[in-house]
Copies of this chain bind each other. A is one copy, B any other.
Amino acid sequence: MNVAVMGYGTVGSGVVEIINRKDLGLTVKYILDLRDFPGDVNASKFTKDFNDILTGDVDIVVETMGGQHPAFEFVSQCLAAGKHVVTSNKELVAEKGLELITLAKENNVNFMFEAAVGGGIPVIRPLTFCLRANNIRSVNGILNGTTNFILTKMIKENMSFEDALKIAQDNGYAEKDPTADVEGHDACRKICILAALAFGNHVYPKNVHCEGITKIALEDVANVSGIGAIKLIGTAEKLPDGKLYILVSPAVVLSDRQLSAVSDVFNAVMIDGDATDEVLFYGKGAGSLPTASAVVADVLDCAEHSERRRPVFWGPEKPELIADYREVENKFYVRGAALDENLIDTKLNDDAYITKPITENALREKLDGEPASLIRVARL
């Protein structure tokens, strides 16, 4: 089977490396990238012309360019031309998943994206195949390694957000412009993909409330250290009324929960099904070879099941199903604003406490002034 790789960055070069070093019955025919890679061992395969791939002898196209454009246009054209496509591009899947899955179905080819969530951790295939005798109740995850690294430095080394971010950047874990990571946008794309797979309807990131970690103070980290750890959590949960509670925000994960022990750049996804109860998947959520290994597994699946595999069920958006997150009861960590004793679950110190379950709207009404900090307690 002939493979083309579009985008020779961190993941794309890992894909080529794995295909070259393992005897998998795959040949890399083209590598599309506008940049030059002088002296690269794969020099003969480079092209700057997408049409070489579209019209060439290519069975499976790997998209590791990132971003929506021109990835969407290229992927669409490949699917329409009857080529299988495998991608690691979470932005593309979160924004255009419905259209691309539909297009793949119409053309009787596969569109696979295991690497788009959790990097090298198998999550999407287990969720859509292994767990499908379940009705999924919720998905909760630490979905972004950069923010988890920063939070771990704050928790374990008492380091400020700014200092921890600097170290993450120096180590290559965070980009020069870290917005997509630290503001939660990357995690948001991933929880949208997981929600679509778990509950069947496309969820657009723009409709999901998303809070980052930039406002977390060391004082808050210290205040909760006796009961848990603050993590950036993506949550998607089916509520009793059938609505979807979905958001990305910092949350206090209690110490006896598996996700509280997930540190550094590691990711983990906890899926709660009505038959299995909680199942956890843990590992490296990013990086060249881990992510590439997930891409290559998808490529092999396309190669061996070249008649289309059962596509995942992914229906159109139903925005009316998304609950107002401020109207869903939850426990909260509060610092710097008083509350009626009857509504307090646990006092942490004179200035900070955990509330009993209450909606955010009701809580803000009852608080004596604007709190210095308001952080959810994780619902898992």
Contacts and interface: CB of A to CB of B under 8 A. Distances in A.
Interface string A267-308: 000000111111111111000011011101100110011000
A22 interface: yes
Contacts of A125: 125-126, 129-130
Given A133-B292, A293-B134, A120 B301 contact: no
Interface of A: 14, 18, 22, 24, 114, 120-122, 125-126, 129-135, 258, 261, 273-284, 289-290, 292-294, 296-297, 300-301, 304-305, 309-310
Nearest to A296: B133
- Closest CB pairs A-B (n = 9): A122-B130, A275-B293, A120-B276, A133-B296, A279-B283, A280-B282, A122-B126, A275-B289, A133-B293
Nearest to A15: B133
A276 B289 contact: yes
Contacts of A281: 279-282
Nearest to A126: B122
Given A122-B279, A129-B301, 14 more contacts: A22-B133, A22-B135, A122-B129, A125-B125, A131-B297, A132-B300, A133-B294, A133-B300, A276-B294, A278-B284, A279-B282, A279-B284, A280-B283, A305-B310
A221 B253 CA distance: 28
A356 B259 CA distance: 32
Given A275-B289, A293-B275, A122 B131 contact: yes
Contacts of A294: 130, 133, 276
Given A114-B130, A304-B310, A273 B258 contact: no
Contacts of A290: 275-277
Q: Is the interface of A mostly helix, strand, loop or mixed?
A: mixed
20 contacts: A125-B126, A126-B130, A129-B297, A130-B297, A133-B296, A134-B293, A258-B261, A273-B293, A275-B289, A275-B290, A275-B292, A276-B283, A276-B289, A276-B294, A278-B283, A278-B284, A279-B282, A281-B281, A281-B282, A305-B305
Contacts of A280: 280-283
A375 to B, nearest CB: 23
A18 B24 CA distance: 37
Nearest to A257: B261
A276 B293 contact: yes
Nearest to A121: B279
B120 A279 contact: yes
Contacts of A114: 130
